[in-house]
Amino acid sequence: MRNGLKGMVVALGMVALMASGCAKEEVVKKDEPVVQQQTVKAQEPVRQVEPVKQPEPQPEPPKQEQTATAAKASEAVVLEAVYFDFDKSDLRQDARDALSKNAEALLKKVADAKIKIEGHCDERGSDEYNLALGDRRAKSVAKYLITLGVAADRIETISYGKEKPAVDGHDEAAWSKNRRAEFVIIK
């Protein structure tokens, strides 16, 4: 009888845990250690203005960025950035003027250079849509350079959306400088 009673107590204990039907025992596996930050640099703003490249740890090198010749060429030639109106990719008159100069340099001074046109946006639009807008800006500049005689196979385009503003700031003065296309001589 005593044994029976003990058994009952044990069983009751189990029931209390199980009564809900939910009292499962969950044996929780050890987590992998939470990967705490690798290099925690004092957070620099993402917004360094580095129009050219990023350090490239990957084994497969991307399209060759800036080589020694390019560095020389870009010293000799400065291709002017062009600017856009909000949410627009069509070329203003000041942009056309700048592109005429750029085209002249590309045809005469660095006639063998290849360029990458980077399309950028200001911070106001949505970042995903801005990637498409930056793409359109870069392509609209490329198209105009081609009509001015620059060979299409010398031009690449890339969009950074609003990921790489030229200047910080949250007013029209900053925004108008960030809605732009920049030129990088890649070869």
Partner 1 sequence: MTVLRLLLLACLLLFAVRHDSTASSTYIEVTAAGNRQLRLAVVPPQPMGATIRPALANEAAAVHSFDLTMSGLVAAEVKDAAPLLNGLALTPIDFVPWLSAGYDLLIRGEYELRGEELTMEFRLYDVPAKKMLTSKRFLGREKDLRRFAHSFSDEIMRALTGEKGPFTSKILYVSNKTGSKELFLMDWDGHNPQQLTSNRSITISPDISPDTREIIFTSYKRGNPDLYKRGLTGVVEVPVSTRRGLNITGAWSPDGSKIALALSKDGNTEIYTVARDGSAPNRLTVTHAANVSPAWSPDGSKIAFVSDRLGKPQLFTMDANGGNVQRFGTGGAYTVNPAWSPKGDKLAYAKSVGGFQIFVANADGSNEMQLTFEGNNERPRWSPDGRLIVFSSRRSGPEALYVMRADGSGQTKVSRNGGLSQHPVWVPQNP
Contacts of 96 (CB under 8 A, 6+ apart): 144
Cβ-based nearer residue to partner 1, 40 or 68 = 40
Contacts of 54 (CB under 8 A, 6+ apart): none
Q: Beta partners for 82?
A: 181
Tell me 116's DSSP state.
E
Based on the shown chain and the rule CB under 8 A, indicate whether residue 52 belongs to the binding site for partner 1.
Answer: no
The CA–CA distances, whole Å, from 70 to 31, 56, 98, 146 equal: 49, 18, 21, 21
Based on the shown chain and the rule CB under 8 A, indicate whether residue 87 belongs to the binding site for partner 1.
Answer: yes
Residues 8-47 as x/- pattern, contact with partner 1 by CB under 8 A: x--xxxxxxxxxxxxxxxxxx-xxx-xx-xxxxx-xx-x-
**How many of the chain's residues bind partner 1 (CB under 8 A)?**
63
What does the binding site for partner 1 look like in residue numbers (CB under 8 A)?
1, 3-4, 7-8, 11-28, 30-32, 34-35, 37-41, 43-44, 46, 53-58, 60, 62-63, 65, 87, 125-129, 131-133, 135-136, 139, 157-160, 163
